[in-house]
Amino acid sequence: MHTAVKPVVIGLLLGFLSLVFGVFWAMYLTVNHDKIHKTLIESSRAAIEEKFIINPSAGAGDHSAHMNHQISKAAPSHEHSHDSGIASHEDHIMGAAEQAAKHDHSSHNDPEMEAAHERLTRGHLHAMGLGTLSVVSSIILVLLAAPYRIKTFASACLGVGSIFYPLAWIIMGFRTTALGIEEAQESVFPIAALSIFLVLVGIIICLFYIVKGAFKGE
């Protein structure tokens, strides 16, 4: 029996690892719900602050030229320009504050906040589902009349996919309030796409040898 299981050990291990991770992740979400919510809010605010931050070094040359130009002008004109600059700066700050208010994700009713929590929960669901699929498929591969390397390859594909696909959902969840719903999805697309491809490859190989064995009576 040990020899028969050896080709699919990697799929079994990664599948069980995915199941264990799914269980502990569900526990973490339940116990640290408020902490996660706060983290998502802080991530959103940090993204907004980074977007509207004023770069002190930006426009240094323009500032010098502006000062030289102002020296040649009368004092009243200089004061007027200075007051205009302050007003413009205050308008920029007010605009940033308004933008931050529009993107306030402190409420669960906010679409992006709801999407973030849902995606974090789906990380648990996919870990449990794909972990189970990896374990069951690996056991089926043991019973099939397939070459050793084919069994190992199919089992490894299922195991790797069962680990990385749930992680993609979790990363996407934490990025949602900072990047937005669609942008967060696009940011993890390569990981999710590769994971889905690997799982599909493993499933197709299993189905192929199941059908082959059924027709040949193996």
Query: Is 181 inside any structural domain?
Result: yes
Average pLDDT of span 164-168: 97
Tens digit of pLDDT for each residue in 169-199?
999 999 999 999 999 999 999 999 999 999 9
Q: pLDDT band at 122, cuts 50/70/90?
A: very high
Query: Is 69 inside any structural domain?
Result: no
Residue 43's nearest CA partner among 133, 178, 156, 136 is 178
**Residue 58: what pLDDT?**
43
CATH code (residue 13): 1.20.120
Query: Is 198 inside any structural domain?
Result: yes
Q: How many helices (H) and strands (E) does the chain have?
A: 9, 0
Distances (CA, A) of 110 to 3, 39, 54, 106, 177: 54, 15, 28, 8, 10
Is residue 211 scored above 50 in pLDDT?
yes
Average pLDDT of span 133-139: 96
Range of the domain at 119: 7-45+106-216
The pTM of the full predicted model, rounded to 2 decimals, is 0.74
Query: Got the DSSP string for 102-143?
Result: HT---STTSHHHHHHHHHHHHHHHHHHHHHHHHHHHHHHHHH
Output the six-digit token pair for 1.
């029996």
Query: Is 51 inside any structural domain?
Result: no
Q: What percent of the chain has pLDDT over 70?
A: 71
Query: Is 68 inside any structural domain?
Result: no
Tens digit of pLDDT for each residue in 44-99?
888 777 766 644 444 444 444 444 444 444 444 444 444 444 445 445 444 544 44
Query: Is 17 inside any structural domain?
Result: yes
Query: Is 112 inside any structural domain?
Result: yes
Q: Average pLDDT over the chain, rounded to whole?
A: 80
**Residue 167: what pLDDT?**
97
Q: Residues of 181-215 as b/e, b for ≥16 C-beta within 10 angstroms?
A: beebbebbeebbeebeebbebbbebbeebeeeeee
**Residue 57: what pLDDT?**
47
Query: Is 172 inside any structural domain?
Result: yes
**Residue 194: what pLDDT?**
97
Q: What total of structural domains would you count in the chain? A: 1
